[in-house]
Amino acid sequence: MREPTLTDALVPLGVLVVPVGGALLLFAVFASALGLNTVAGDQYIALVLPSRVFRVEFAKRGLAPTNLSRLAADSATVTSPLVPWNSCGAFMGAVLGVAPFSYLPYAIFNYASPALSVLYGFTGFKIEKVEPGAGTDQPASST
């Protein structure tokens, strides 16, 4: 029997949002990225893992991969400096000499960007569509 992985923990999130519309799927990607930023301590895991886990579900629903890419970047990349024990938050705190919670009120972009991306999901604004199922037969890259 193999050891469970982080991917195994995130796959049920994709299953939970299957019956619901694309807006909840976008929110699940955001929540996964923010959660991984909090527990994993590095933005790269929070950026790559949700993208790989939710890629097939986006294709099944006819949502373009650019939506997933934008949401992952808006969620994982910009929220990482707000987590003090994340590598970005620790770096910013050491370089600036200011704790992340101290500059949180001034980091409007860091919480407004993911909020707007999720809002786009609920409104359908700037959400690109493709043929449902497009790209589901392509194996994931090993790099």
CA gap 25, 20 in Å, rounded: 8
Residue 36: which pLDDT band, with cuts at 50, 70 and 90?
very high
pLDDT one-digit tens code per residue, 5-20: 655 665 655 544 444 4
Across the range 96-104, mean pLDDT stands at 89
More confident residue, 94 or 138: 94
CA distances from 133 to 10, 63, 125, 138, 140 (A): 21, 9, 21, 11, 15
pLDDT confidence of residue 51: 92
3-state SS assignment for residue 10: helix
